[in-house]
């Protein structure tokens, strides 16, 4: 009885408005632009350590709100009626820029579920089944063209070229060739202005951007026309064919997939997969060059298999550990961009409907409570009995919840296969040898453009 009375009398913790959350330190007006453009993952982690799971930061005069850590990951993971977040506000601009009616990343609820179901099969890991030899052939021809012994090359740019060809051929059935540079420019500035809002909209009126956008749309229409001319529609027995499935959905459900939405859908593997996979590959290569013991273990694992195929990749704990550790330490999507769909409370703060939030789910990646010696590139932490990533909400490189990455399975295969074939075929060293990688998040976090390697020789 006494205890109950004590409980009743205990003052309830005060719920404050999110506008009262602590503000990260930074210069006036520009705020934390530098941190957000260099290393947003470490910025969110450091701010979490200093301020706790709810904080604010300024960016070009605008206040941004962050919820961070395992509970933020738990919140964004909610589905259906329990979901209190929506994507619309952050992704509206991208949808408008594409001139589309609907969008997988922007929409929630029924429209989102239906669009996801359409794309699911054709960008699953199954699209590469039976085509490993073809993919290795593409990789080898790109290495022989772009990674020539005796040359020093910019890693990020070369990885982007490599990935655009592999994704193009495996998912969309055609490599973008000269269009790859236009697609990269179009995506980069569209994301910087319309989604992360790091740059002013005026960029969208500049001739270089308009031309890149025009050529990206031209490529999308060309893919569709080529498909109609040369390929037959998929049958039930066929491998899922991305362009074929998009066109079939357009015919079957013209309200959900109108003609206006085809360019956005056709380009979606590039928008979602190009920078992401390329940046992970760049960071993984850097980590391997900084950790020669791990590089030696990976080489031994790869050299022990006759061919890189599905069965071989499934049984490569070292290569898999390199990928997982890269996704943990160099996350691509540091925080999910969402808005409050209703008023709700989080960690003592009231978050009104419509508030734009960064849900910093990858803060746990740097917490010693989850990953002892978090800054150490330790590929064995994923193996039993440690399995550190299995703690609830510890590992979220592909986000969580209804918008979790649709290309995760395919991305994992592309990363492991490309990295393994690179390590198998090409010997490179850092140039200069003591280079320390800087991260550039303009807009997708990854190695800065000054990350160069010298190609020494082909191994076989
Ligand atoms: C390392 C590589 C990749 C990473 C780290 C990654 C990460 C992510 C993340 C974090 C999201 C969720 C964004 C959000 O919550 O708003 C996402 C969404 C998505 N990703 Fe990936 N991605 C990768 C590669 C790919 C690839 C290769 C494809 C397709 C070919 C792809 C297709 C998609 C699609 C379609 C969505 C939207 C899903 C939806 O809104 O329902 N991703 N990705």
Q: 345, 365, 396: which is the final residue of a domain?
A: 396
Evaluate whether 455 touches 427 at the Cβ level (below 8 Å).
yes
Q: Residue 171 belongs to what H/E stretch?
A: none
- Same domain flag for 50 and 135: no
Domain hosting 40: range is 13-84+334-396
Q: Six-digit token pair at 391? A: 């703690």
406 ligand 1 Cβ < 6 A: yes
- Same domain flag for 314 and 412: yes
92 domain-assigned: no
Least confident residue range of 61-75, 232-246, 415-429 = 232-246
Least confident residue range of 3-12, 61-70, 95-104 = 3-12
Evaluate whether 279 touches 447 at the Cβ level (below 8 Å).
yes
91 domain-assigned: no
**CATH number of the domain where residue 220 is located:** 1.10.630.10
Q: What is the pTM of this model?
A: 0.94
pLDDT(4) > 70: no
| 1 confidence band (pLDDT: 50, 70, 90) | very low
Contact partners, residue 63, CB within 8 Å, separation at least 6: 19, 23, 56, 57
- Same domain flag for 205 and 251: yes
- Same domain flag for 280 and 379: no
- Same domain flag for 424 and 359: no
- Same domain flag for 54 and 153: no
Contact partners, residue 12, CB within 8 Å, separation at least 6: none
Q: Six-digit token pair at 266? A: 């056709």
What pLDDT is attached to residue 242?
87
Least confident residue range of 53-57, 149-153, 232-236, 336-340 = 232-236
Q: How many CA atoms lie within 13 A of 441 on its CB side?
A: 22
C-alpha distance across the termini of the chain, in Å: 79
273 ligand 1 Cβ < 6 A: yes
- Same domain flag for 315 and 407: yes
418 ligand 1 Cβ < 6 A: no
- Same domain flag for 271 and 185: yes
Instruction: For residue range 432-445, list pLDDT tens digits in order.
Output: 999 999 999 988 99
| 11 confidence band (pLDDT: 50, 70, 90) | low
- Same domain flag for 127 and 237: yes
Beta strands in 370-451 (DSSP E): 426-430, 439-441, 445-447
79 domain-assigned: yes
Number of structural domains, the chain? 2
363 domain-assigned: yes
- Name which residue sits closest to atom 3 of ligand 1, judged by CA: 276
How far, in Å, CA of 364 to CA of 360, rounded? 9
Q: 396, 411, 438: which is the final residue of a domain?
A: 396
Mutate to test the pocket of ligand 1, among 411, 443, 445 (most ligand atoms within 8 A of CB): 411
Mutate to test the pocket of ligand 1, among 241, 405, 414, 441 (most ligand atoms within 8 A of CB): 405
- Same domain flag for 170 and 62: no
- Same domain flag for 195 and 157: yes
Instruction: For residue range 266-295, list pLDDT tens digits in order.
Output: 999 988 888 999 999 999 999 999 999 999
- How many other CB atoms are found less than 10 A from the CB of residue 429? 13
Instruction: For residue range 365-412, list pLDDT tens digits in order.
Output: 999 999 999 999 999 999 999 999 999 999 999 999 999 999 999 999
The percentage of residues in the chain with a pLDDT greater than 70, rounded to a whole number, is 95
- Same domain flag for 135 and 280: yes
What is the greatest pairwise CA distance in the chain?
Answer: 82
**CATH number of the domain where residue 351 is located:** 3.30.43.20
290 domain-assigned: yes
Q: 370, 396, 422: which is the final residue of a domain?
A: 396
What pLDDT is attached to residue 296?
98
What pLDDT is attached to residue 198?
77
4 domain-assigned: no
Evaluate whether 68 touches 363 at the Cβ level (below 8 Å).
yes
């Amino acid at each position: 009885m006494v205890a109950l009375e004590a409980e009743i009398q205990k003052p309830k913790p005060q719920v404050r408005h999110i506008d009262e959350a602590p503000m990260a330190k930074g210069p006036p007006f520009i705020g934390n632009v530098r941190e957000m453009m260099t290393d947003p993952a470490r910025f969110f982690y450091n701010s979490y350590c200093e301020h706790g799971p709810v904080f604010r930061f300024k960016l070009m005069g605008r206040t941004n709100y962050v919820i961070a850590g395992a509970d933020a990951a738990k919140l964004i993971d909610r589905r259906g009626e329990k979901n209190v977040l929506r994507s619309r506000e952050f992704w509206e601009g991208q949808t408008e820029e594409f001139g589309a009616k609907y969008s997988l990343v922007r929409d929630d609820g029924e429209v989102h579920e239906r669009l996801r179901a359409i794309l699911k099969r054709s960008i699953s890991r199954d699209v590469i089944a039976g085509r490993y030899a073809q993919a290795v052939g593409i990789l080898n021809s790109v290495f022989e063209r772009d990674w020539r012994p005796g040359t020093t090359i910019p890693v990020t740019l070369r990885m982007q070229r490599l990935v655009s060809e592999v994704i193009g051929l495996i998912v969309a059935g055609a490599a973008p060739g000269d269009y790859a540079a236009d697609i990269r420019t179009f995506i980069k500035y569209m994301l910087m202005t319309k989604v992360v809002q790091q740059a002013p909209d005026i960029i969208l009126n500049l001739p270089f951007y308009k031309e890149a956008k025009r050529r990206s749309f031209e490529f999308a229409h060309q893919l569709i026309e080529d498909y109609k001319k040369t390929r037959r529609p998929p049958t039930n027995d066929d491998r899922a064919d991305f362009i074929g499935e998009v066109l079939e959905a357009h015919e079957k459900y013209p309200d959900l997939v109108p003609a206006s939405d085809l360019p956005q859908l056709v380009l979606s593997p590039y928008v979602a997969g190009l920078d992401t996979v390329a940046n992970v590959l760049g960071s993984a290569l850097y980590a391997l060059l900084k950790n020669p013991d791990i590089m030696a273990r990976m080489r031994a694992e790869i050299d022990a298999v006759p061919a890189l195929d599905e069965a071989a990749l499934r049984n490569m704990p070292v290569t898999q550990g390199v990928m997982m550790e890269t996704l943990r330490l160099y996350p691509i999507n540091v925080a999910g961009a969402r808005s409050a769909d209703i008023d709700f409370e989080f960690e003592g703060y009231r978050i009104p409907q419509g508030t734009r939030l960064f849900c910093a789910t990858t803060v746990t990646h740097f917490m010693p409570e989850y990953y002892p010696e978090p800054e150490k590139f330790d590929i064995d932490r994923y193996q039993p009995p440690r399995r550190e990533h299995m703690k609830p909400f510890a590992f979220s490189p592909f986000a969580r919840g209804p918008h979790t990455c649709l290309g995760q399975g395919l991305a994992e295969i592309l990363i492991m296969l490309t990295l393994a074939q690179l390590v198998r075929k090409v010997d490179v060293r850092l140039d200069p040898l003591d280079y320390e990688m800087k991260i550039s998040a303009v807009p997708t976090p990854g190695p800065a453009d000054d990350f160069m390697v010298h190609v020494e020789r082909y191994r076989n």
